[in-house]
Amino acid sequence: MAKALLGHLGGPDPRLLSEMRRLQQRVRDLEEECLRLQAANEALAAEQAKDDDVVISVSEAEPVLN
């Protein structure tokens, strides 16, 4: 019983702390990647919208002849 109490009062397990730090870093890395991908997606969407505007304005500027 005394060993259990000493183990319990001795503080957190270093292996658990190490694993927790590793997982926290992984979460930070994934959050950064998510932000980077969102920014890239927004840039691509803006580029696509700009390309769509150009196509529409060109087709409206030149009517089809029958």
pLDDT digits (tens, 9 = 90+) for 26-64: 999 999 999 999 999 999 999 998 877 665 555 555 666
pLDDT tens-digit map of 17-26: 999 999 999 9
39: helix, strand or coil: helix
Separation of alpha carbons 26 and 34, rounded Å: 12
Q: Enter the pTM of the model.
A: 0.57
Amino acid at residue number 54 = V
Residue listed under structure tokens 């919208």: 49
Residue listed under structure tokens 């994934």: 30
- Nearest CA to 20 out of 28, 10, 32 is that of 28
